[in-house]
Amino acid sequence: MNFVDYRNQLLQRREGEIALWQLVRNFSQWFFDLLRNFVLVGGLKYFYEMSGSEVLFYLHQFALGVIFLY
């Protein structure tokens, strides 16, 4: 018996179990990507409020609109 066969038997998974883990992984990746984007937009808001820059204000508004369309 070689190592590859032993490893495949040791890590044998059912088909439904693999699909469930992929679903959980895809959802968590989507959620944390969305959360990261909200943090970035919040950072833009913070910086435009602190600096009073109109460019940052319009950049924040544009980014917020893109996230809500997403």
Q: What is the pLDDT of residues 4-34, one digit of tens each?
A: 776 666 666 666 667 778 888 899 999 999 9
Tokens of residue 4, six digits: 């590859």
Which distant-in-sequence residues (6+ apart) come within 8 Å of 57 by Cβ? 48
Taking a C-beta distance cutoff of 8 angstroms, is the pair 63, 46 a contact?
no
CA dihedral 26, 28, 68, 60 (to 10 degrees): -120
Q: Is the pTM of this model over 0.75?
A: no
For the chain, give the number of residues: 70
69: pLDDT strictly greater than 60: yes
User: Mean pLDDT of all residues in the chain?
Assistant: 85
